[in-house]
Amino acid sequence: MFGVQMLCARIGLATGQGLAAALKRKIPRVVLLLTLVALTLANIVNIGADLSGMADAAQMMTGIHRQWIAPVFAFIIIFLTIKFTYVQIARVLKWLCLVLFAYVATAILVVDDWGPILRDFFVPSWPRNSQDWSSIVAILGTTISPYLFFWQASEEVEEEKSAGRRKEVVRHGSSADAIKCRRIDVLVGTFFSNLIMCFIMVTAVATLHRQGITQIHSSQEAAAALKPLAGSLASTLYTTGLLGVGFLAIPTLASASAYALAETFRRRQGLSQHFGDAKTFYLIIAISVALGAVLSCSPVNPMRVLFFSSVVNGVLAPFLLVGIVLVAMDRKLMNGQPVSRLMQGLAWVAAAIMAAAAVGMFALGD
C-alpha cells in the first residue's frame, strides 16, 4: 500500500495534475472511461454503506429512525464539502482520523487471549474455496483501493495550490525535501490505516465470530451483537467509530470520483475552487452522496453491497496499477523525475498479488 500511494503522490507532485490527467496520456480513452464508471459506481455503493452505518449509529444514540437520519447526514456532508476550502476540509479530516482509534480501544477491551490471534496473523491459512478468495480480494480492494489512487495524486496538487502555485506549469517537479516529507507522510498514513484495519478484524474475531455470528445485515446488528459479548463501553466505542468513519470516508470517496471525472472531461476541479468556478466537480460530489443516501434508505443489505463494491475495487485495482506504473516510468511525463525502481517494483508486486487473488476467486467459482 505504501508503494502504491507513494507512486500516486509522486505523479501528482511531478506532473502538477491529478492521476486521471496523467492516465489519459498512457491508456486508451475507452479503457479509462470504463474504469472510471466502475470506480464511481463502487464509490457510490461505499458512500451508501457508510451513510447506513452512520444512520445506524445515530439511531442507537437518539432513537430517531435511520431512514430520516441518512438524508440529513448526506445533506450536511454535501453542504460542508461545498462551503469549506480544501485547507479547512483537510484540517478537519486529519483530526477525524483520531476517531479511528476507537476501534483499537474496542479490541483491547474485548480480547482476553492474544495468543491465537497473533499465531494466525503470522501463520495464516491458505484459501480453500472461491468464498475465501473473494474475501481476500475484498480486503485487498478495501486496502489498496482505486479511489485512494486518485485522491492521493489530486491532494498533492491541492497542497501545491494552497501554497500559491496555482498554475500547472509552476507545479511541475518537486524538491528532494518535498519528496522526503511526502514519503514520511504516506508511510505514517498507510501504517496506521492498516493497523486500524487489523484491530477491526481482531474485534470481529474475538466477539462475533467466536460466537458463530457470521451473517450481519447492518452495522446496528453488529453493535447490538457486540454489546452482550463485550459490554456497553465496547459497543459505544464501536458506534462512535461508525460516525467518525462516515464523516471521514464519504467526502474522500465522492471527491475522488469528482477529481477523476472532471479531469477526464477537462472540467475545472478542486476543493480549493468556489462552487461557481467548478460546478461540474461539485455536482458530481453532490450526486454521488445523494445516490448513496438513496441506497442507504433502500431495503438492500448494506453489508452485502459493501462487500461487493470491495470485490469490484479489488478486481479493478490491478489494471489501474499497470497504468500508474507506466506513468511513473515515463521520464517525459514525470518532468524528469521518474519514480525509483523500488517503488515501481512494490506496485508491480501489489498488482500481481491482487490479480492472482482475482484469478483464484473466478477460477474456483461455482
The pLDDT value recorded for residue 349 is 92
Examine the pLDDT at 111 and tell me if it is beyond 60.
Answer: yes
Check if the beta carbon of residue 254 is closer than 8 Å to that of residue 284.
Answer: yes
28 dihedral zone (left: phi>0; alpha: psi -120 to 50; beta): beta
Instruction: Determine if residue 111 is left, alpha or beta; phi over 0 gives left, psi from -120 to 50 gives alpha, anything else beta.
Output: beta
**How much is the average pLDDT of 108-131?**
80
The yes-or-no verdict on residue 338 having pLDDT over 70 is yes
Average pLDDT on 109-126 reads 80
Q: Which H/E stretch holds residue 181?
A: helix 176-206
| Residue 222 confidence (pLDDT) | 66
> What's the confidence (pLDDT) of residue 199?
85
Which domains does the chain possess?
A: 2-363 (1.20.1740.10)
**Of 82-86, 211-215, 251-255, which has the strongest mean pLDDT?**
251-255
Kindly tell me if the per-residue pLDDT of 239 is higher than 80: no
Q: What is the mean pLDDT of residues 250-277?
A: 90
Q: What is the pLDDT of residue 43?
A: 92
What's the whole-number mean pLDDT along residues 170-194?
83
Predicted local confidence at residue 118, as pLDDT: 82
The yes-or-no verdict on residue 160 having pLDDT over 90 is no
pLDDT band at 162 (very low <50, low <70, confident <90, very high): confident
Q: What is the CA radius of gyration of the chain?
A: 20
**φ, ψ at 292 (rounded to 5°):** -60, -40
Q: Is the pLDDT of residue 171 over 70?
A: no
Per residue in 188-206, pLDDT (tens digit) is 988 988 888 888 888 777 7
Q: According to DSSP H, which parts of 265-340 are helical? A: 279-296, 302-329
In the predicted structure, residue 28 carries a pLDDT above the cut 90? no
Q: How far apart are CA 43 and CA 38, in angstroms?
A: 9
Choose the weakest-confidence range: 97-111, 135-149, 337-351: 97-111
Report the range of poorest mean pLDDT among 54-58, 172-176, 216-220: 216-220
Share of residues in the chain with pLDDT > 90 (%): 16
